[in-house]
Amino acid sequence: MCAISGLVDVTGRTAGATDAVAAMNDAQGHRGPDGAGIWSSSQAVLGHRRLAVIDPEHGQQPRVLPLPERRGELVLTYNGELYNFRELRAVLRRAGHGFTTGTDTEVLLAAWAQWGPRAVEHLNGIFAFAVWDSAAQEVWLVRDHLGVKPLHYHRDGSRLLFASEPKGILAHPEVATALDADGLRLLSLPLLKVPGTSPFAGIEEVPPGSVLRFGRDGTRTTRYWSLADALATPEPAGSPAAAADEVRALLEDVVARQTISDVPLATFLSGGLDSSVITALTREHLGADAELRTFSVDFSDAEGDPGSRTAQDRLHARLAADHLRTTHHNVVLDADALLDPALRLEGIRARDLPNGFGDLDTSLLTLCRRVKEHASVALSGEAADEVLGGYLWFTLPEAVGADTFPWIADTPAHGRLHPRQQALLPERLRKELDLDAFVADEYRSALASLDLPDSLSPSARRQREITYLATTYFLPLLLDRNDRLSMAAGLEARVPFCDHRLVEALVRLPEHVRRGAGREKAVLRDAIGTSLPTPVRERRKSPYPTSPDPRYATRLRTQLTEVLSAPPDDIDAYLDAEVLRPDRATSGAGTGLVSNYEAEVVLNLAAWLEAYRPALV
């Protein structure tokens, strides 16, 4: 994993471009602690920061491939992993390409030389990369199927800037840090990620499964893969047992590909079904004699409540680890560490956003740093719930029947997070942003892109709609969080459930197969079978844990009182005056999906405003 950055000006590079890209590169240094590189020409400057995973000795970038027959060259800067690079290398060798390293970078560049933009049809992996074609005087930006790896850009006339993270683009001296009305809307919707957007004015995201071409004739973005295409097919015939066998075979292939690494590898093991499945298959692929390190997060004060989410995670993670004979690390955190303002700021800087998720973020960042002490790659169970309908809102009647994104439907089971967030805004801003209308437009637009088979029953149709919404508007939030916080620790987090072949197979399954006999993700439980102990295999969905320590809420409110006694300039432009009263900080904390949510929002926003100082435009 790495960071990429660059500047392309088709009319000729302006003075200072190399220094500007070097600054963009350095702003993303956390993503690539093992090396840095800059390549420049009269029209393009490409930058790269490297986290060495495959062939550590020979993976320096940007990488150049001369094309004498075209009187030009291809230059690649690449972030990601190609899990089928060995197969591709064999195919490309037969086509006449030679290789001098063991890297997937060299394979990717040869694939682009062989097939051009159609190379994406051959790729299996997670990636975000840019290819400068000097002969055609154009640059291509490419992002993986589900958008696991981030890629942002800024268009300014004849010039295009790009970087893995917004902070890379904001490091360019001519790009202002600013928010417009749409940016404020995005910041005000913490559980909704609109594809192709960022909150920062003038900075967009290459959508998942897309390629962007920029040249003298402007910019064009096209999709090469869409989940909508998989959902447009009829439900497959076959028994639940046959489906479980197919899922098992696919998962075995996916995990085998994703355990390829030239540096130490580990897995996250929360004790839930998804991470336990990935760990079990990793163990089987590596063999019984190989050491496999596993990691879970815990809290120092959680021993006293055996029924808490954390205690249950600890119990089931230990059951899985003992069964699979892993070297398990239970990473214990305490309230003082999680409430360190420096750690809060590091999480905010990692994500470039003031999301109010508090210890959900700081605990994950700390966990990733502990994993990094032992490994540079970790496999995660992320995305199984979205593609297999594992969340409560896939079945809760008032959520399923809501005429909106079901996870933000106004239901008690979801902690009413959407209306709670709106209530924090000043009345003027609530009226100006009209978030309900914005959400309704996005919802209608998302469903309009679906063309579902007429053969589906109404309930099956709705389940496919929710699966599409979850995978395109909710999962990207989690993938972005996972990528940013792991990369801030110099750790590559791999997500086997995001293999596009596996996703296509899972989302097509009939509901009685996905949820047989009322068991959420029944097909996954049947697929893993006796590879896991029964209590782990049959465990119900449990959310990512938060600190149960009552001192956390108490100290959080103390911090809030201190911040509100001397708040940052302009914070009242974002939050209602009632929310900003210092005495309100002692009135208690909210409950629901995120504990102490309102307090976390205020503290994160205050820290973000101090660090980023955005202008409102």
Residue 107, marked binder:
no
SS3 267: strand
Contact in structure between 589 and 560 (CB atoms under 8 Å) = no
Could you give the CA distance from residue 189 to residue 184 in angstroms, rounded to a whole number?
A: 9
Query: H-helix or E-strand containing 563?
Result: helix 550-565
Tokens representing 317 are: 């993670």
Which phi and psi (to 5°) does residue 276 adopt? -70, -40
How many CB atoms sit inside 10 A of residue 413's CB?
Answer: 13
Nearest alpha-carbon partner for 141 in 68, 94, 80, 96? 80
Sheet containing strand 377-379, edge to edge, reads: 327-333, 293-299, 265-268, 377-379, 492-494
Residue 297, marked binder:
yes
Which phi and psi (to 5°) does residue 11 adopt? -95, 0
Could you give the CA distance from residue 466 to residue 35 in angstroms, rounded to a whole number?
A: 42
Beta strands in 31-71 (DSSP E): 36-40, 44-50, 63-67
Q: CA quadruple 524, 529, 533, 535: dihedral positive or negative?
A: positive
Residue 358 zone, left/alpha/beta (φ > 0; ψ -120 to 50; rest): left
Nearest alpha-carbon partner for 11 in 47, 37, 44? 44
Active site residue 2: yes
Residue 196, marked binder:
no
Catalytic position from the list 1, 2, 52, 513? 2
The secondary structure of residue 33, as a DSSP letter, is: B
Q: Taking the chain, what is the end-to-end CA distance rounded to the nearest angstrom?
A: 35
β-pair type (138-143, 210-215): antiparallel
Residue 104, marked binder:
yes
Query: H-helix or E-strand containing 298?
Result: strand 293-299
Contact in structure between 269 and 321 (CB atoms under 8 Å) = yes
List residues forming the annotated binding site for L-glutamine: 104
Task: Indicate the annotated binding residues.
Answer: 104, 297, 380-381
Known binding-site residues for ATP equal: 297, 380-381
Q: Which residues are catalytic?
A: 2
